[in-house]
Chains A and B, each alone.
Chain A
C-alpha cells in the first residue's frame, strides 16, 4: 500500500487526566481502603503504568453495601420515579458532554481502538442511560404489574471488554427501577468506572446510590457473597458465573448472568457476500474479539467457502493493527498479558490439532500485548478452537452442506448467546432464526447493540436479559 500510506492520526490524550492513584467511591465520597493493597493498572498498548488502583477488602465491600442500603432505604427507594428519571437523564447528558474524554480514557485503559470507543462504546453508554431514564417513571406500564417494586441493593460485577458500556448496562436499569448499587469493575479496566463516580457527583446523585469498589476476584467474591445484597448481576466468564450461581444457591438473592459464547456466524451460498465478509470481520475482530457474543465460528456453506475465504483473506489484509489511539486503527491491543497467553495457548492448540492457521502480514508493536488477526481453516467441531471461547481475534472456519446441518453445528455447543445468519432468502432467515438456540440472532448483520434491544443468552451463556423492557425484570421484584 505504498501509493497511499495513511500517516499516523493519533487522538490527543491530553483530554484525560489520570490520577496517580484512586481510592474507593463509597457513599458519595472517595474513601481509603481499610486494607493496604493496591495494584497497578497498565496501558495494554504500551505496558506503561497508568495508575494505582485500590484492592477493596471485605470490610470495604461491607461499607459500600451499607452505604447502598442506607441510600436505598432513605433516599432512592422512596424517591418518585420521575425524580430518579431526571438524575439518569443528567448522567446521560454529562456522559455526552464528556464523551471524548471517556472514549480516550477507555482506549488507553482497555486497548480498544479509539474509533470503536468513540463511535460504539460511548454513544451506547449515553443511549443506555437515556433509555432507562425514561423507564423510571413508567414502570407500572412495563408489564410487571401495577406497582413493581425494586429489589434493594444490587451487587454488580463487570468485565474488562466494554468497561463503561457494561457499567451502563448494569447501573442504568438498576437505578431506573429504584435499586442502589455496588459495582466492581474489572481489575484491568477500572478507570472509566472511577471517572463515572465523578460523573455521579457532577450529577448530584444522592450519596450511596452508586458505589464503586475496585479490585480483583477476591473483591468480587466478597461482593457477591455479601449477605446484605438482594441482587447479583454479573457479566464475565461462564466459569466464574458458575461459581457465583453456586454461591447464591439457597439464598434469596436474585441472579442474572451474562456469560461466554461461541457464536456461529452462518453464511449461505446466496448471501450478500461483500456484506457477509464485513459481518464476519466485524463479528470476530471488533474489539479484538474480546466480545462474549463474537462470531468466533464461521460456518460457511461448502459451495461458496473458497470464494468467501478468498474475500475474507483479502479483507483481513486491510485491517490496521496498532496504536489504539490512532483514529485509523481497526484492531487494538489485547487487554492483558494473561488474556494474550490464553489466546496464544488456544491458537497453538488449533495448530496442534491440525487446523490451518493464517494471518495477514502485519507488523505488531514491540511493546504491549498484541495478537494478529487470525484465521483457522480446516477446523472440525471436535477441535478446542471450535468449542472453547478464545476471546481474541481468532476465527475458526467450518463448513456445512445443508441448512439443517448448519443449525445442528451452530447449536452443538453448551453456549447460546448469539448467532449470525447470512442469506438473501427471507424465509430461510426466519427458519434459521427459529432454530438457532441463542439469545440474539443477527441476520445479515452482526454485533449490533441498542438499549432498546434485549441481550442475553441461552444455556451456559447465562440467564436474564439486559436492555429493553425485558431488562427491567432483572431489577424488579417480579
Chain B
C-alpha cells in the first residue's frame, strides 16, 4: 500500500481485528432493503406540516443551515457577502434566526472567521482534498490543519470512496482517525458521498465506519455528485446514528447536503429526523442541512406564513 497506509498502521490501534475485523463488523450489520427504505421515506414525505408547526419547522431549518459556497470562483467578497447573509438572513426581519455555520474551502476560512467573529455563526471548512478525496493522506492532513489553524470550528472531510468500494475499510477508518486527530478541538463531519456508494447497504456501513472512527457528524454528500442528499439516504443515516447511540452511548450528528432546495425538502428532512432518530437530534448541534439556495426559499415561505401572501424572490437577497 501507499506511504499513507503505512503511516496509519503505525499510529492507529483501535480498529479491532484490522481490516478483517472491520469487514466482519460492517458486513454483519442488518441489510437495508432498498424498496422498503424508499417506501418508508416516501411515506414520511406525505406528512402534512401546516400552520404553527410549519412556522416552527422553518425557523428550525434556518437555524440548521450550513450556508455553503464551494466554487472555484469563490472570492473573499463572495464569502463576506455570504457571511452577512448567514448572520442576518432576512434584513427586513430581525426575528429570523441566524444559520448554524458558513461552509467554505479551507483557504477562505480566514475571511469567514473574520466576517463572523462574535456572530454565533460557526465556520466550517471542507478539507481532505474535497471533493474527490484523491490525494495522499499527508496532503489531506495538511489541508485539515491549515483550516483549523485559520479558525475553522468544523471540518467537513471526505472519505476515500475508492478505498471503501475496494473493501479497504481500514484505510478509510485510519484516514478518519488521523483527520480527527488533526482537527484538535474542531468538530469533524465525515462526508460519505453516498451518490458514489450507490447502495443503502454501503451507506449504512460507511456511516458505522465513520462513527466508529470518531466522526462527530456524518454527512451525505459533497454537493458535487448527483444524487446528493435524498430522503432515503438521510433515513438510513439517521437509523445509523440512532443505533450507534443505543449501542455506544455516543450521539453523532447528521448532515444532508446537496439537493435540498425547497422548504418542502427541508421540512421533509426534519420529519425524518423527528420520527427516525427522534427529537434529540432536532437541534443545530445534531442536525445540519448543507445548502445555499434553500435559505431564500425558507425565507419566502416564512414571509408567506407571516403575511398570508405569497412572496417573490426580488424581496430576498441573493448572496
The interface of chain A, by Cβ under 8 A from chain B, is 1-9, 115, 119, 270-275, 278-279, 310, 318, 327-328, 424, 444-445
Chain B residue nearest in CB terms to A278: B40
Within 8 A of A (CB), among B67-109: none
Bound together, the chains give a CA A150 to CA B229 distance in angstroms of 54
Q: Given the known A-B contacts A275-B40, A328-B47, A445-B36, are A4 and B56 also in contact in the complex, defined by CB atoms under 8 Å?
A: yes
Q: Which residues of B contact A5 (CB under 8 A)?
A: 53, 56
Chain B contacts to A: CB under 8 angstroms: 30-33, 35-37, 39-40, 46-54, 56-57, 60, 239, 246, 270, 274-275, 279, 282-283
Are A274 and B48 in contact (CB-based, < 8 A)? no
Contact A327 B30 (CB under 8 A): no
Q: Which 10 A-B pairs have the closest CB atoms?
A: A275-B36, A9-B48, A327-B48, A7-B53, A273-B30, A272-B33, A275-B33, A424-B31, A272-B31, A3-B279
Q: For the complex, what is the distance from the CA of A3 to the CA of B59, rounded to whole Å? A: 12
A311 to B, closest residue via Cβ: B243
CA distance A275 to B35 in the complex (A): 9
Minimum CB–CB distance from A198 to chain B (whole Å) comes to 29
Establish whether residues B36 and A444, one from each chain, have CB atoms under 8 Å apart when the complex forms: yes
With a cutoff of 8 Å between Cβ atoms, the chain A residues found around residue B54 in the complex are: 7
Q: Quick one: which of B30, B46, B270, B279 contacts A272, CB cutoff 8 A? A: B30
Contact of A445 among B35, B60, B270 (CB under 8 A): B35
How far, in Å, is B49 (CB) from chain A's closest CB? 6
**SS class, residues of chain A in contact with chain B:** loop
Cβ of A1 and Cβ of B274 under 8 Å apart? yes
Known: A272-B31, A424-B31. A9 touches B50 (CB 8 A): yes
Assess whether A4 is in contact with B36, with CB atoms less than 8 Å apart.
no
Closest B residue to A327 using CB positions: B48
Q: Give the distance in Å from the alpha carbon of A310 to the alpha carbon of B32 in the complex.
A: 18
Q: Are the C-beta atoms of B53 and A6 separated by less than 8 Å? A: yes
Contact B50 A7 (CB under 8 A): yes
B139 CB, nearest partner CB in chain A, Å: 38
> CB-CB < 8 A to B239: which residues of A?
274
| A151 and B51 alpha carbons, distance in the complex (Å) | 55
Partner of A274, one of B32, B49, B53: B32
- Which residues of A have CB within 8 Å of B274? 1, 3-4
Question: Can you spell out 16 A-B residue pairs with CB atoms less than 8 angstroms apart?
Answer: A2-B279, A4-B57, A4-B282, A5-B53, A6-B49, A7-B49, A7-B52, A119-B46, A270-B30, A270-B31, A274-B32, A275-B40, A327-B46, A328-B47, A444-B35, A445-B35
Please name all residues of chain B whose beta carbon is closer than 8 Å to the beta carbon of A8 when the two chains form the complex: 50
List residues of chain B with CB within 8 A of the CB of A327.
Answer: 46-48
Known contacts A272-B32, A279-B36: A4-B46 contact under CB 8 Å = no
- Candidates A1, A272, A318, A328; contact of B36 at CB < 8 Å: A272
Contacts of B46 in A (CB 8 A): 115, 119, 327
* A362–chain B nearest beta-carbon distance, Å: 15
The answer for the CA separation of A318 and B31 in the assembled complex, in Å, is 23
Chain A nearest CB: distance from B255 CB in Å? 18
Given contacts A4-B270, A275-B32, A328-B47, 13 further A-B contacts (CB under 8 A): A2-B279, A3-B60, A4-B57, A5-B53, A9-B49, A119-B46, A271-B30, A272-B31, A272-B33, A272-B36, A279-B36, A424-B33, A445-B36
CB-CB under 8 A from B279, the residues of chain A are 1-4
Q: Which residues of chain A come closer than 8 Å to B32, judged between CB atoms?
A: 272, 274-275
Q: Are A444 and B57 within 8 A (Cβ)?
A: no
- Min CB distance, A328 to chain B, in Å? 6
CB-based nearest B residue for A114: B48
Chain A residues in 8 Å Cβ range of B270: 4
**Cα distance A407–B47 when bound, in Å?**
37
Alpha-carbon separation in the docked complex, A366 to B259 (Å): 44
A239 to chain B, nearest CB (A): 34
Provide the residues of chain A in CB contact with B246, threshold 8 Å: 310
Question: Known: A3-B279, A4-B57. Is A274-B30 also a contact (CB below 8 A)?
Answer: yes
A96 → chain B closest CB, angstroms: 19
Distance (whole angstroms) from the CB of B196 to the closest CB of chain A:
22
Q: Looking across the interface, which residue of chain A has its beta carbon closest to that of B28?
A: A270
Query: Is the Cβ of B51 less than 8 Å from the Cβ of A7?
Result: yes
Neighbouring A residues of B50 by C-beta, 8 Å: 7-9
Q: Is the CB of A6 within 8 A of B30?
A: no
Closest A residue to B274 by beta carbon equals A4
Q: A424 to B52: give the CA distance in the assembly, Å.
A: 42
Chain B positions within 8 Å of A4 at CB level: 53, 56-57, 60, 270, 274, 279, 282
In the bound complex, how far is the Cα of B215 from the Cα of A396, in angstroms? 40
Q: CA of A328 to CA of B46 in the docked complex: distance in angstroms?
A: 8
| Complex Cα spacing A327 to B283, Å | 25
Q: B29 to chain A: closest CB distance in Å?
A: 9
A residues less than 8 Å from B37 (CB atoms): 274-275
Task: Tell me the bound Cα distance from A3 to B57 in angstroms.
Answer: 9
CA distance A434 to B311 in the complex (A): 59
A61 to B204, CA, bound (A): 60
Q: How far is the CB of B23 from chain A (nearest CB, A)?
A: 17
B268 → chain A closest CB, angstroms: 13
Report chain A residues within 8 Å CB of B30.
270-274
Considering the chains assembled together, what is the distance between the CA atoms of A11 and B283 in angstroms? Answer: 30
Which residue of chain B has the shortest Cβ distance to A4 in the bound complex? B274
C-alpha spacing A3/B270, complex, angstroms = 11
User: What residues on A are CB-neighbors of B49 within 8 Å?
Assistant: 6-7, 9
Considering only CB atoms, which chain A residue lies closest to B30 in the complex? A273
A432 nearest CB across to chain B (Å): 16
Instruction: Give the Cβ gap from B43 to chain A, nearest Cβ, in Å.
Output: 8
* A7: B residues at CB distance < 8 A: 49-54
Instruction: Point out the residues of chain A lying under 8 angstroms from B36, CB to CB.
Output: 272, 274-275, 278-279, 444-445
Give bound CA distance, A318 to B40, whole Å.
13
Min CB distance A295 to B, Å, is 14
For A304, give the chain B residue with the smallest CB separation. Answer: B30
Bound state CA distance, A270 and B52, in angstroms? Answer: 42
Q: Please, how many angstroms separate the alpha-carbon atoms of A8 and B53 in the complex?
A: 9
**Among A4, A115, A279, A444, which residue has the most Cβ atoms of chain B within 10 A?**
A4
